[in-house]
A and B are shown apart, each in its own frame.
Chain A
Amino acid sequence: MAWEMDKGRGLGQGAGMPHDHHDHDDPHSLLPSDPALRVKALETLLTRKGLVDPAALDEIIDTYENRIGPRNGARVVARAWMDPAFHAALMEDATAVVSDMGYYGRQGEHMVAVQNTDAVHNMVVCTLCSCYPWPLLGIPPGWYKSDAYRARAVREPRRVLADFGVTLPEETAVRVWDSTAEVRYLVIPKRPEGTDGMEEAALMDLVSRDSMIGTALAGKP
């Protein structure tokens, strides 16, 4: 029945994907119910079919566990604080600027940087899934993927900020960016007072992951 209702198939060149399954149980339900065993079963099956090289899986995990993470984004922010020309270029074309630093790749193909000021505080969410700038911030934290954050960030960002211990002044407006497409947003937090003349490494220490999502402010020196 689902297939007959899928009129979209007639509009395209290719075969339409069924979007509901009424004739069978979902294939995923054929796997073991314990998720750890489910992963194991899939990996074993795909390896035996020649579709997965377990060494490649190790390499993917190592990349996101050890090589790509929020220190990448922190370096971008520290440079933007230190160098007005870099900052201007970042605001103009963030993809090009972070690519030059080696921070291009999967889930970060189209970057936009947004600057926090006294007037506007930016905050990023993905209400439909959990889109996130992986090359700059790594794997999204658990809370970013949670129903609570996805549901609440757009409707009551200030109460969400309160969950993080952040209170904004009355004169600061909140602008929430819901990442509904392939564009990924990096928040440039306000540079804290008393950081004049600090080196890049010291500034980076003040830039938390959460401050680049917009659920925290930059740390104090």
Chain B
Amino acid sequence: MTRVHDMGGRFGDGPVIPEEEDVIFHADWHPRALAITVAMGPLGQWNLDMSRHAREGLPPKDYARFSYYEKWLAGLANLLVETGVVTRDELTGEVDPAPSPLAERAMPAEKVAGILAAGGPADRPSNVDAVFAPGDAVVTRAFAENMAVPGGHTRLPAYAAGARGRILRLHGAHILPDSNAHGAGEAPEPLYAVVFAASELWAHPEHPGDEVVLDLWQSYLAPA
């Protein structure tokens, strides 16, 4: 089974509403929500995959009613409590906040530019050899699910499960989110861009030449 965030191909969402380029935030609190979330990363208490999974693991009723930055805030609040950085009583305001032992890792203003510019590359050396080459026919695994953790994190969307495609390019070895999101190690392995005919994915493709490309890890794929 999938989670609510896995919405590629879903029907019924209505039109896409274009927007001017100079609109960056839509409410006064949005920039603050963004900044708090970004500022918590360097504390090192979770990784990028855990923070994604925290948002995507929200109950469907919350995920569906929350705006983008509300999902960020909810994921952040859950992570802060799960990792013990903040207690539930501190969150409710029932107790005075205790100074954090992590305070020395807090991001100072003068380091912001450097931290944002440094980023967090996801490529890693790997002892898993690439077994596919561009042009190879592959099939994705039948289940768009984490194979180790029921309901866990994965990056194979449901619409592309069990589909036949072709390797377009090798991106190198990247951290495997299915493992890293659950604290089970980075487990880097080859990552590929895989191209699928739209007719392989949809009952009613718009055009015979249309295609969809997904970035998929080697363990999601088998030879076709």
Contact = CB atoms under 8 A, between A and B. Distances in A.
B21 A106 contact: no
Q: How large is the interface on B (under 10, 10 to 19, 20 to 34, 35 or more residues)?
A: 35 or more
Contacts, number: 359
B35 A60 contact: yes
A44 B130 CA distance: 48
A175 B33 CA distance: 34
**Which of A24, A45, A181 has the most C-beta atoms of chain B within 10 angstroms of its own C-beta?**
A181
Interface string A136-164: 00110111011111111011111110011
Contact of A128 (B5, B77, B90): B5
A177 B132 CA distance: 20
A163 B157 CA distance: 24
Contacts of B177: 181
Nearest to B105: A51
B110 to A, nearest CB: 8
B149 A28 contact: no
A13 to B, nearest CB: 6
B170 to A, nearest CB: 11
Interface residues of A, number: 102
A26 B59 contact: yes
Interface of B: 5-11, 13-19, 21, 23-29, 31-36, 38-40, 43, 46, 48, 50, 52-59, 62, 67-70, 73-78, 80-82, 85-86, 88, 90-93, 96-100, 102-103, 106-109, 111-113, 115-123, 146, 148-153, 155-157, 159-160, 171, 174-175, 177, 179, 181-185, 191, 193, 195, 201-202, 206-207, 209-217
